[in-house]
Homo-oligomer: A and B are copies of this chain.
Amino acid sequence: MQTDAADGVTIAVSTVIFALRSDGDGRAASLRLPLVRRIRGPFDGSWALPGGPIEARESLAAAAARNLRETTALEPNYLEQLYAFGDVDRSAGERVVSVVYWALVRSEEADLATEGENVRWFAADELPELAFDHNLIVEYALWRLRTKMEYSRIAHAFLGETFTLAELRQVHEAVLRRPLDPANFRRQIEASRAIIATEQHLTGGRHRPPRLYRYNSSVELTDNGPLGRS
């Protein structure tokens, strides 16, 4: 599973993949993430984050994107490094440094994602006991997502090409777990210049058809300083 090093320190990449999926009955969407079942020790049979060794000729981010594809057949809409976990005893016996990434994928795409005996999607706030220190890792990823949602345009990564303001607001509400004032939300987003109004409206709803918007790609999703997008 990991890359063996001469002196016993091995390196691996893991990925926390978030999608927003509507629960069948209720209206509120919830954060979900795919886990894989381990088929060897340690923690044989436990659920764990998708991950694996890096290949000699791929960057860390490429390794994360690859193991995202391999476990869910999805392309990431947003991908960012989370943290490198390297405590001595985090992997019983062997010494593993895990560089962890977190990713956001579109809701519609997540619906198409493969799910099988060894890959299953879980609600982010109802996880079982995971292998290694993966519960802590997911907690940290959730914290980062929520923190970043407040000052970035990251929510767009959950949505498709066009979307209504209500959809964008529901993404914020689902992630932050609190209702937002539609009027004030509209003004905040408009002030950020992150969206562009299209002339299309979404028809078929029961009420006044909302305008569709497009993401303004001249505005960065996040400000990562000199690292830019990575």
- Using a CB–CB cutoff of 8 Å, the interface residues on chain A facing chain B are 3-11, 53-54, 56-60, 81, 83-84, 86-88, 95, 97, 99, 136, 139-140, 143-144, 147, 225-227
Contacts and interface: CB of A to CB of B under 8 A. Distances in A.
A193 to B, nearest CB: 21
Given A3-B5, A6-B4, A99-B97, A225 B147 contact: yes
Nearest to A101: B84
Contacts of A8: 56
A225 B138 CA distance: 12
A136 B226 CA distance: 7
Given A11-B9, A97-B11, A84 B56 contact: no
B227 A83 contact: yes
A60 B139 CA distance: 20
B225 A144 contact: yes
B9 A56 contact: yes
18 contacts: A4-B6, A4-B7, A5-B5, A5-B6, A5-B11, A11-B11, A54-B86, A56-B95, A59-B88, A60-B97, A83-B227, A84-B99, A99-B99, A136-B226, A140-B227, A143-B225, A143-B226, A147-B225
